[in-house]
Amino acid sequence: MSKSYQQLGTEGLWSNNPALVQLLGLCPLLAVSTSAVNALGLGLATIMVLSASNLCVSLVRHQVTETIRLPAFVLLIASFVTCAELLLQAYAYPLYLRIGIFIPLIVTNCTILGRAVSFASRNPVLPAFVDGIMMGLGFALVLLILGILREFFASGIIFANMELLLPFAENWEIRILPQYRGFLLAILPPGAFLFMGFLLALKNWIDNKMTVKQHNDEADILIRNTATK
Amino acid sequence: MSLSKRVKLRKNHQALSTSQIMLQVILACIPGIVALTVFFGWGTLINIIWLGLLALAFEALMLSLRQRQVIFYLKDYSALLTAVLLGICIPSTSPWWLGVIGIGFAIVIAKHLYGGLGQNLFNPAMVAYVVLLVAFPVEMTDWVVPRGSGTSPPDLLVSLQAFFSGDATGIDAYTGASAMDLFRNERGGMTITEFWQQNPAFGLLGGLGWEWVNLGFLFGGLWLLYKGIISWHIPFSMLAVMVLLAALFYDNGSSLSGGSPMMHLFSAGTMLGAFFIATDPVTAATTPRGKLIYGALIGITVYVIRVWGAYPDGIAFAVLLGNFAAPFIDYYTKLSVTQNEK
């Protein structure tokens, strides 16, 4: 009954991606993706919280009864969010000042409670943990792509100020368009919706192409089989 | 309404195709465009030609991507009308790339991604204008000082240089804050009469030069009304509400005044907005009562943005907000099948 790890990976990263398919956690996704470093910070925090909460929810799944499961899970998630917030304050304080209010808001990210209720509370510890990592990774990747795109279109630069999160990344800033005037709209709220819309369209387009190709392949096989008979 | 009159109206409706309506609206813009060219130089004409070409190119591209008949839909002139309206709205000193981004947004995103002509929720020209205003505030508020205030507008050569060079250094000598800019920034310090006396940017009725531009669009708008292409509801309620609010807050011209009704009617984009933009049949409310509410909503928003907002003019924002509300207004003002039209 349980899914293979490969299946969990494809679901988290592509076919059931929390940001692109389930469209969960859009508030932090749209608000924080103004630059690559902000996006990466929130992405890492989300991966950490999601995998840890999935692990613990799975551990206590036989003890927590149906009636009290929501408060219990939220309490667990909130503890890990507090941990993430303290860690960020300790190791990347300047970044904390930039995305600070969105870290506590991870508690309300529907992806995390959703995975806890629909997957972790019904599966053994290891699959639940892997699911948490994969779902978190899927969310973080979309966040990072959105962050890079918006940063690039707004300023012509990518990976600016990466040292706020990674101390060794001081020279990561790449100026792709030196004479670029800057398209301010990209880092304003409408830019977030526009770029998110384009990412969704791109994913659906790729999915459509793949389904069509699959159908064609199946038809080919069918024709070959009937021909050999 | 008598039966014979209604039959006649029906006939008129059938007689006018989309392309004829669009063409008439474009023609009705001419008096306003002439006034703009006289007072602010050749820039507006360059804008309109450039945007028109780009609009047709983007429209053809999107139509072929969406696998529609390219020539058939190009001939409805709707893309051209969007280009003309946007060309009128953006400053006459705009560099070429501003037009590319603006009309690209209008045609590709605001029009075709929503499903093409008739399906777009928002007025494409106004979406483009707001995108440009938010993304390039410096370029979008750089207006040429109008003819008659001591300087003459840039000649064709200077206008072309500004258009091709892509930066405003050559044209800087000709630009300055527009009347509505001044009014917003320096209000509170002097009475309205002092304003008028001390600033050459103010003219007889409203902003210098702008009054003639507005009269031009008023004339074109009245012609559209006479031809039955637009109905009186939206312009009337929008302008009436603006006059009413302006009269309420006029305060007899004290330093805290919101400006005279005359100034609001004949400055910036009032007449263009009332007759040409708010009346867009696709994005406006459609029932008679709905149109009155829709126009009033836009009028209120324009006045509020002008007097208490952060931008010198609010036509574009007001029209987009009106577009948001139009389906809702229609839903609550639609006539039931048993009710007769008034």
Instruction: Answer yes or no: do B134 and A184 touch at CB < 8 A.
Output: yes
Does B101 lie at the interface with A, CB-CB under 8 angstroms? yes
CB contacts, 8 Å: A181 with chain B:
136
Q: Model confidence over A96-153: pLDDT tens digits?
A: 888 878 888 888 888 888 888 888 888 899 999 999 999 999 999 999 999 999 999 9
Which among B109, B134, B136 has CB closest to A188?
B134
Burial status of residue B36 (CB atoms within 10 A of its CB: 0-12, 13-18, 19 or more) = buried
Helix, strand, coil percent values for chain A (each to nearest 5) = 75, 0, 25
pLDDT above 90 as % of chain B: 42
Q: Which residues pair with A174 in a beta bridge?
A: A158
Does B247 lie at the interface with A, CB-CB under 8 angstroms? no
CB contacts, 8 Å: B101 with chain A:
183
Q: Which residue has the higher pLDDT, B116 or B321?
A: B321
**Is the confidence at residue B33, as pLDDT, over 50?**
yes
pLDDT given at position A57: 93
pLDDT given at position B167: 60
Instruction: Answer yes or no: do B135 and A183 touch at CB < 8 A.
Output: yes
Instruction: Judge contact between B276 and B28, C-beta under 8 A.
Output: yes
- Cα–Cα distance, A166 to A159 (Å, whole number): 11
- As a whole number, the mean pLDDT across chain B is 83
Instruction: Answer yes or no: do A184 and B136 touch at CB < 8 A.
Output: yes
Mean pLDDT within B257-273: 85
**Is the confidence at residue B24, as pLDDT, over 60?**
yes
Q: Which residue of B has its CA nearest to A155?
A: B135
Q: Which of A48-52, B110-114, B168-172, B174-178 has the lowest mean pLDDT?
A: B168-172
- Helices (H) and strands (E) counted in chain B, each on its own, are 18, 2
Q: How would you classify the pairing of strands A174-175 and B143-144?
A: unpaired
**Is the confidence at residue B170, as pLDDT, over 90?**
no
Sign of torsion over alpha carbons B121, B125, B130, B132: positive
Structure tokens belonging to residue B140: 């979008």
- Lookup result for tokens 């909503």: B297
Q: Model confidence over B131-143: pLDDT tens digits?
A: 999 888 888 877 7
Mean pLDDT within B12-28: 80
**Is the confidence at residue B12, as pLDDT, over 60?**
no
pLDDT given at position B138: 80
Instruction: Judge contact between A40 and A147, C-beta under 8 A.
Output: yes
Q: What is the reported pTM?
A: 0.84
Provide the 10 A C-beta neighbour count for residue B169: 9
Instruction: Answer yes or no: do B101 and A183 touch at CB < 8 A.
Output: yes
Does B70 lie at the interface with A, CB-CB under 8 angstroms? no
CB contacts, 8 Å: A183 with chain B:
101, 135
pLDDT given at position B340: 56
Any alpha helices (H) in B227-273, and if so which ranges?
A: 233-248, 261-265, 270-271
Distance from CA of B99 to the nearest CA of A (A): 14
**Is the confidence at residue B107, as pLDDT, over 90?**
yes
Q: Which residue of A has its CA nearest to B131?
A: A185
Supply the Cα-derived Rg of chain B in whole angstroms.
20
Instruction: Judge contact between B94 and B41, C-beta under 8 A.
Output: no
**Is the confidence at residue B168, as pLDDT, over 60?**
no
CB contacts, 8 Å: B131 with chain A:
185, 190
pLDDT given at position B86: 94
Mean pLDDT within B204-220: 83
Q: How confident is the model at residue B263 (pLDDT cuts 50, 70, 90)?
A: confident
Mean pLDDT within B29-55: 91
**Is the confidence at residue B208, as pLDDT, over 70?**
yes
Angle separating helix axes B30-40 and B43-65, nearest 10 degrees: 130
**Is the confidence at residue B223, as pLDDT, over 90?**
yes
pLDDT given at position B7: 46
Q: Which residue of A has its CA nearest to B130?
A: A185
Q: Which residue of B has its CA nearest to A154?
A: B135
Domain ranges of chain B: 8-176, 192-203+231-334
Indicate the SS3 state at residue A157. Answer: strand
pLDDT given at position A73: 92
Q: Model confidence over B111-159: pLDDT tens digits?
A: 999 988 888 999 999 999 999 998 888 888 777 777 766 667 777 777 7
* Strands in B28-179 per DSSP E: 143-144, 175-176
Q: Which residue has the higher pLDDT, B176 or B139?
A: B139
Q: Which residue of A has its CA nearest to B98?
A: A183
Instruction: Answer yes or no: do B109 and A184 touch at CB < 8 A.
Output: no
- As a whole number, the mean pLDDT across chain A is 87
- Cα–Cα distance, A50 to A106 (Å, whole number): 9
Distance from CA of A194 to the nearest CA of B (A): 9
Q: Model confidence over B235-260: pLDDT tens digits?
A: 999 999 999 998 888 877 676 677 78
Q: Which residue of B has its CA nearest to A195?
A: B109
CB contacts, 8 Å: A200 with chain B:
none
pLDDT given at position B6: 47
CB contacts, 8 Å: B137 with chain A:
184
Does B140 lie at the interface with A, CB-CB under 8 angstroms? no
